[in-house]
Chain A
Amino acid sequence: MNATLTPTTLAELVAAVRSAPHVLAIGARTKPRLFAVAPDVTLISTLGLSGITEYQPDEFTFTALAGTPLREITATLAARGQYLPFDPYLLDAGATLGGTLAAGLSGPGRFRFGGLRDFILGVRFVDGAGRLVRLGGKVVKNAAGFDVPKFFVGSLGRFGVFGELTFKVFPRPATTLTLRLPVADANAASQILTTAAGARWEIDALDLLPTADAVALRLAGPAAALPLLATEILTRFPGETLSAATADALWADLRELRWTFTKGPLLKLALTPAQLPTLAATVRAHAGRIHVTAGGNAALVSLPATIASLGLPALTLRGPGPLWLDAPAPPAITAAVKTALDPQNRFPSLAA
Chain B
Amino acid sequence: MPPGLFPVSSTVAPATDPARFLQRLGDILPPERVLAGQAQLAAYESDGLTAFRTAPLAIAVPETQAEVIALVRLCHAEKIPFVARGSGTSLSGGSTPVAGGLVITLNRLNRILRVDPAQRLAVVEPGVINTAVTLAVASYGLHYAPDPSSQSICTIGGNVAFNSGGAHCLKYGMTSNHVLGLKAILATGEVVEFGGASREQLGPDWCGLFVGNEGLFGIALEITLQLLPRAEVFHTVLAGYRTLEQAGDAVSAIIASGLLPGAIEIMDALALEAASAAVHAEYPPGCEAVLIVELEGPREVVAAQRPQLDALIAASNPVGARPARDANERAAIWKGRKSAFSAVGRLSPDFIVQDGVVPRRRLGEALRRIAEMSRAAGIRCANVFHAGDGNLHPLILYNGTESGALERAEILAGKILHMCVEMGGSITGEHGVGLEKRDYLATMFNADELDCLHRLRDAFDPLGLANPGKMFPDGTAPALAQHGLHPLEKAGLISRE
Contact = CB atoms under 8 A, between A and B. Distances in A.
A binds B: yes
Contacts of B425: 137, 139, 142
A273 B199 contact: no
A252 interface: no
B304 A225 contact: yes
B252 to A, nearest CB: 7
Interface in A146-165: 146-148, 150-156, 158-159
A56 to B, nearest CB: 7
Given A133-B452, A144-B433, A118 B173 contact: yes
A137 B177 CA distance: 16
A151 B208 contact: yes
B301 to A, nearest CB: 4
Contact of B204 (A152, A174, A313): A152
A333 B360 CA distance: 38
A200 B232 contact: yes
A268 to B, nearest CB: 7
A7 interface: no
B378 interface: no
A260 interface: no
Contacts of A134: 445, 449
Contacts of B119: 194, 272-274
Contacts of B334: none
B355 to A, nearest CB: 8
B260 A147 contact: no
Interface in A194-235: 194, 197-202, 221-226, 228-229
A139 B190 contact: no
A132 B445 CA distance: 12
B27 to A, nearest CB: 26
B428 interface: yes
Nearest to B430: A143
B473 interface: no
A340 B203 contact: no
B404 interface: no
B424 interface: yes
Given A117-B177, A224-B304, A229-B298, A336 B459 contact: yes
B198 A143 contact: no
Given A139-B357, A221-B304, A274-B119, A147 B209 contact: yes
B77 interface: no
A141 B455 CA distance: 24
Contacts of A118: 173, 177
A351 to B, nearest CB: 10
B284 interface: no
Given A151-B206, A174-B258, A229 B458 contact: no
Chain B CB within 10 Å — which of A59, A110, A315 has the most?
A59
Contacts of A66: none
Question: Which one of A118, A271, A298, A341 has the greatest number of beta carbons of chain B within 10 Å?
Answer: A118
B204 A350 contact: yes
Contacts of A147: 163, 176, 208-209, 211-212
Contact of B361 (A58, A159, A171): A58
A104 interface: yes
Interface stretch (B1-9, B383-391, B480-488): B383-391
Contacts of B260: 170-171
Contacts of B433: 143-145
Interface string B421-444: 000111111111100010001001
B202 A142 contact: no
A263 interface: no
B32 interface: no
A58 B192 CA distance: 40
A145 B432 contact: no
Nearest to A127: B452
| Most B Cβ at <10 Å: residue of A106, A197, A224, A336 | A336
Contact of A106 (B200, B252, B256): B200
A153 B452 contact: no
B200 A202 contact: no
A191 to B, nearest CB: 10
Nearest to A201: B298
Given A270-B198, A274-B119, A339-B459, A143 B444 contact: no
Most buried by A among B120, B170, B200, B451: B200
B305 interface: yes
Nearest to B434: A143
Contact of A150 (B205, B232, B258, B453): B205
A143 B456 contact: no
A52 to B, nearest CB: 16
A140 interface: yes
Given A150-B209, A294-B200, A341-B456, A333 B190 contact: yes
Nearest to A293: B200
A143 B428 contact: yes
Given A143-B430, A171-B260, A228-B300, A194 B118 contact: yes
Q: Which of A60, A142, A144 has its CB near the most chain B CB atoms (within 10 A)? A: A144
A337 interface: yes
A316 B391 CA distance: 41
B206 A331 contact: yes
A137, A145, A269, A295 — most chain B CB neighbours (10 Å) = A145
B259 A171 contact: yes
Nearest to B257: A171
A138 interface: yes
B298 A143 contact: no
16 contacts: A137-B425, A141-B429, A141-B430, A142-B428, A143-B433, A144-B428, A148-B209, A150-B176, A170-B260, A225-B298, A272-B198, A328-B203, A330-B203, A332-B192, A333-B186, A339-B459
Given A139-B424, A145-B453, 19 more contacts: A57-B256, A118-B173, A133-B448, A135-B445, A140-B390, A141-B429, A144-B441, A151-B204, A151-B205, A152-B204, A198-B120, A202-B297, A272-B197, A294-B200, A298-B198, A333-B192, A337-B459, A340-B452, A340-B459
Q: Which 6 residue pairs across A and B have the least CB separation, nearest first?
A: A150-B208, A222-B304, A298-B200, A336-B459, A225-B300, A340-B455
